[in-house]
Amino acid sequence: MKLQMSQAGSLRARPARGLSALPRRHTVSVSAVASERLEATSSLNGGSTWNPSAWRSKPVVQQPEYLDQVEVVKAVAEIARMPPLIFAGECRTLEQRLAKASTGDAFVLFGGDCAEAFSQFSANRIRDLYRLILQMSIVLAFGGGVPIVKLGRIAGQFAKPRSAPTETIDGVTLPAYRGDIINGPEFNEESRRCDPWRLVKAYNQSAATLNLLRGFSYGGYAGLSRVSQWNLEFMKNTNEGHAYMDIAKRVDEAIQFMIACGMDTNMPFMRETEFYTCHECLLLDYEAALTRLDSTTDLWYGCSAHFLWCGERTRQLDHAHVDFLRGVNNPIGVKVSDKMDPNDIVTLIAMLNPSNTPGRLSIIVRMGARKLREHLPALISAVQRSGQVVTWVCDPMHGNTETVSGYKTRRYDNVRSEIEAFFDVHEQLGTVPGGVHLEMTGDNVTECIGGGASVSEDDLNSRYHTHCDPRLNAEQSLEIAFYVAQRLRQREQRGEDGVG
Ligand SMILES: O=C[C@H](O)[C@H](O)COP(=O)(O)O
Ligand SMILES: C=C(OP(=O)(O)O)C(=O)O
């Protein structure tokens, strides 16, 4: 990659180029509706030129209020001097994988912490999340008969958008916790002060995390012959643990059979797995400092993660986050609640993926089951009419948050119902459910209620460790994987029977 940096270490803006002039591959033509909408939004884009700092001229929300701007400049310059965390070629491969998910030839699993935390950083926690994602992928691949694209909410998922800027406890009001990359979760003035040097700490934690993930992915840990060793210790005597071991046994038998037929166990697919990282593209100072020009294509890539998404609270058409994301060439996503209007979704898609490249854009729906059944059909139909290609993903977490006994929690049944509704709606419309996006952990936490683990309301205070939103624990996550696998298998069988 060509790192365009000035001597001070900040990014030097390259001469701005029209986005339409940027080369893109495998594009699909859109209908006149989408083209008209793109034309109509070119004034929002400020013409069609882009550079990693262009967002600064737009309205921006959910950014930290730092007290000392000089320290911000120094910390951001430090990040801009650092190497990219990912390589652009990996993003292009991921885009191809996500394109397959848009047609049902692959399925995407996004999973990981709501908010990574400095205090919870450990090799064991990274390993446990990683192997849970591997386990879930095996279950999904076995059920669905398609490759699973694995995307961890990890190695950069630090910044949190908040509903309210402040928090009040016992009559004391302080700034809200916005993620460890910005301030601390402890409820005192010092901790809640936004500290720009947290940016550097988050970068370093992300680099170390990614280093271990790459080691696991390419160093033998993720080899298919180890499938039966991925079961987490505390899962061994659970229903999900047993069901997983049944599948692992069948995978082992299939491998033995293939070896007997002459298969070479040194083939890359036997020893390695692709694993990608993602996070919300929220903290634009950080993201811009890690945006680099790829020397092989002369295109900009956000190098903090392979995949970046725009949150529900920051997807305003004329605001900074959409402007930033339209210019990076990574595959990207947008979170969408029931507040999204069918016309606006077409406009937003046209802005973020003007060349209609399959795999470039995932729409991550998060509404709760009831609203999803009501609103998603109109969104899908509008996108279909416009000829736009997107990968539809279900986030069953963010439309299902409630407070019980003072804890933010989610009920397993509601999470599962939203996934059910997502598959049902796609089935009715003949469109493709492309993936799920879960807040989950390999730890044995008690943050979400229900599931086979039978976490009750009274258990919430037992192992409630999240700094922000409640995560599914390992058992609940695996249970969700079995449910999704069942839906994928039904879809596959309908395809084989020529139905749908
Ligand atoms: O995880 C996402 C958001 O940061 C979170 O849902 C917002 O939570 P809040 O409503 O408690 O601010
Ligand atoms: C904040 C998040 O989601 P949303 O933007 O959908 O609320 C998230 O996924 O962490």
**pLDDT band at residue 16, thresholds of 50, 70 and 90?**
very low
Binding site residue list for phosphoenolpyruvate: 153, 312-313, 335, 366
The pLDDT tens digits of the residues spanning 247-283 come to 888 888 888 888 888 888 888 888 899 999 999 999 9
Please give all residues whose beta carbon lies within 6 A of any atom in ligand 2, as ranges.
114, 161, 280, 311-313, 335, 366, 398
Q: What separation in Å is there between the alpha carbon of 110 and the centre of ligand 2?
A: 13
- Give the per-residue pLDDT at 18: 34
Instruction: Write the DSSP string, 288-313.
Output: HHTEEEETTTTEEEETT-SEEEE-GG
Nearest CA to ligand 2 atom 5: 311
Those residues with Cβ within 8 angstroms of residue 161's Cβ, 6 or more apart along the chain or in another chain: 62, 178, 280, 282, 311, 312, 313, 314
Print burial letters for 405-419: b (CB count within 10 Å at least 16), e (below 16): eebbbbbbebbbbbb
Please give all residues whose beta carbon lies within 6 A of any atom in ligand 1, as ranges.
114, 160-163, 398, 401, 468-469
The pLDDT tens digits of the residues spanning 110-148 come to 999 999 999 999 999 999 999 999 999 999 999 999 999
Which residue segments constitute the domains of the chain, with CATH numbers given?
24-222+272-496 (3.20.20.70)
Length of the chain: 500
The pLDDT tens digits of the residues spanning 203-217 come to 999 999 999 999 999
Question: In this structure, are residues 283 and 64 in contact, taking their beta carbons and an 8 Å threshold?
Answer: yes
Long-range contacts of 175-182 (CB under 8 A, 24+ apart): 175/65, 177/467, 177/468, 178/62, 178/64, 179/115, 179/467, 179/468, 180/115, 180/116, 180/117, 180/118, 180/467, 181/283, 181/286, 182/64, 182/158, 182/283
Which ligand 1 atom minimizes the distance to the CA of 398?
6
Question: In this structure, are residues 316 and 59 in contact, taking their beta carbons and an 8 Å threshold?
Answer: yes
Q: Is the pLDDT of residue 15 over 70?
A: no
DSSP structural state of residue 318: T
- Give the per-residue pLDDT at 12: 30
Q: What is the ipTM of this complex?
A: 0.97
Taking the alpha carbons of 234, 239, 244, 248 in that order, is the dihedral positive or negative? Answer: positive
Tell me what the mean pLDDT of segment 164-178 comes to.
97
Instruction: Give dist(CA 30, CA 351) in Å, integer.
Output: 12
- Give the per-residue pLDDT at 269: 81
- Give the per-residue pLDDT at 256: 85
Q: Which residue has the higher pLDDT, 79 or 498?
A: 79
Provide the percentage of residues in the chain whose pLDDT is more than 70.
90
Q: How many CB atoms lie within 10 A of CB 377?
A: 16
Question: In this structure, are residues 202 and 210 in contact, taking their beta carbons and an 8 Å threshold?
Answer: no
- Give the per-residue pLDDT at 17: 32
Q: What separation in Å is there between the alpha carbon of 397 and the centre of ligand 1?
A: 11
